[in-house]
Amino acid sequence: MGRWEPNASGRLREAALDLYVERGFEQTTVAEIAARAGLTARTFFRHFADKREVLFAGSELLEEHMVEALDRAPEAASPMEAVGAALDAAAGTLGRNRDFSRRRHLVIVANGELQERELIKMTRLATALTEGLRRRGVAEGDARLAAEAGVAVLRVAFERWVTEPEERDLALVMRESVERLRSLTR
Amino acid sequence: MGRWEPNASGRLREAALDLYVERGFEQTTVAEIAARAGLTARTFFRHFADKREVLFAGSELLEEHMVEALDRAPEAASPMEAVGAALDAAAGTLGRNRDFSRRRHLVIVANGELQERELIKMTRLATALTEGLRRRGVAEGDARLAAEAGVAVLRVAFERWVTEPEERDLALVMRESVERLRSLTR
């Protein structure tokens, strides 16, 4: 996904992000987003339920990709190996457009309500990964610990990736974080 | 702390918990809590800002105790050993009254808004532990990973402790969870 997508939803997303960064999330209206994208508010609402949805529409997709990767991991994979497969999938989804991710991150950390929303999405993700590990036959406590550890890695690695001056491969940054967690708990 | 504390704040807390479990958090009013405790609403508001505060007044204390323990850990302690000291302190704070903890847990899992509040408290706790580890000279990424891992252990061990049929030592359950996390990431 390049920065200038020809489709309406991509244009709306870029316009929204630009305005959220320039003026703040609270101060931006749907009418302004649509105008900036050269579209109507009506078109906006065909793509997004509200202005917050622009930032979180990707979260369901992220969860879907991660759970799919977890389910597809070889039967012999350990819980953390299966979580590692889910993190690779997350890197594939989140790592495509660092400029978008970086700006989205700036908008979210600047707004308490958005931070809470993001937090809730991360908790849902941990629950989905826990359930995925349970389906693989992992015991409840282990499943939750591995899932929570995976989400912690995701958050720490993602934040490092968006804030580093040079762009690196997100999957690599995630694997480094898994490795750090391993040596921390050793 | 026994179930029947002679002081007003203890009586209010017990009365509130009883009502939240019986009728649900939403359906309970401050007037009802005060009446059940044999006190006035005015007395309630001398102790708690609102009915939610009854459930979360302990969170600040928990954070304080954990951060103190982290700060006091020997200089030579590894990041996870320092987090382990904080978890022991958490067990000391949370582990005193399992009946209260168990009922509080039931009330919170039954209410989405309270779950969000709890989640935010846990995130603040992770931030406080991260800052504590930074003060010990731990690098940013490692500090966040160790702190998040510690909070994951706290949540998983606490939930196991309140739901197990027999009461065990919470500190022991926490150490078991740290051990499980270690073997999962190995």
Tokens describing residue A116: 């809470």
Mean pLDDT of A38-62: 93
Mutation pick from B124, B185, B186 vs chain A, by most beta carbons of A within 10 Å, is: B185
pLDDT score of B2: 42
pLDDT score of A7: 86
Q: Chain B partners of A185 at a C-beta cutoff of 8 Å?
A: 80, 149, 178, 181-182, 185
Q: Chain A partners of B78 at a C-beta cutoff of 8 Å?
A: 184
Confidence check: pLDDT of A4 > 70 = no
Residue numbers of chain B with a pLDDT score lower than 70: 1-6
C-alpha closest to that of B183 among A104, A61, A138, A34: A138
Confidence check: pLDDT of A3 > 60 = no
C-alpha closest to that of A83 among A62, A64, A69: A69
CB contact under 8 A, B149 and A181: yes
Tokens describing residue A22: 């320039």
CB contact under 8 A, A152 and B156: no
Q: Chain B partners of A153 at a C-beta cutoff of 8 Å?
A: 145
pLDDT score of A165: 92
Confidence check: pLDDT of A186 > 90 = no
At residue A182 the predicted structure's pLDDT band, cuts being 50, 70 and 90, is very high
Shortest CA gap B185–chain A (Å): 5
In the block, tokens 């323990």 appear at B69
Please tell me what DSSP assigns to residue B76: T
Helix/strand/coil for A168: coil
At residue A2 the predicted structure's pLDDT band, cuts being 50, 70 and 90, is very low
> Is-contact A107 A41, C-beta < 8 A?
no
Q: Which domains does chain A have, with CATH numbers?
A: 8-54 (1.10.10.60), 58-184 (1.10.357.10)
Rounded to whole angstroms, how far apart are CA atoms A58 and A162? Answer: 17
Q: Chain A partners of B149 at a C-beta cutoff of 8 Å?
A: 148-149, 152, 181, 184-185
pLDDT digit string (tens) for A141-157?
Answer: 999 999 999 999 999 99
Mutation pick from A127, A145, A161, A172 vs chain B, by most beta carbons of B within 10 Å, is: A145
pLDDT score of B7: 87
Which chain B residue has its CA at the smallest distance from A147's CA? B152
- Cα maximum dimension of chain A: 56
pLDDT score of A179: 94
Rounded to whole angstroms, how far apart are CA atoms B51 and B59? Answer: 15
The pTM assigned to this predicted structure is 0.88
CB contact under 8 A, A184 and B79: yes
pLDDT score of B141: 92
Which chain B residue has its CA at the smallest distance from A79's CA? B184
C-alpha closest to that of A154 among A136, A138, A132, A176: A176
CB contact under 8 A, A145 and B119: no
pLDDT score of A58: 86
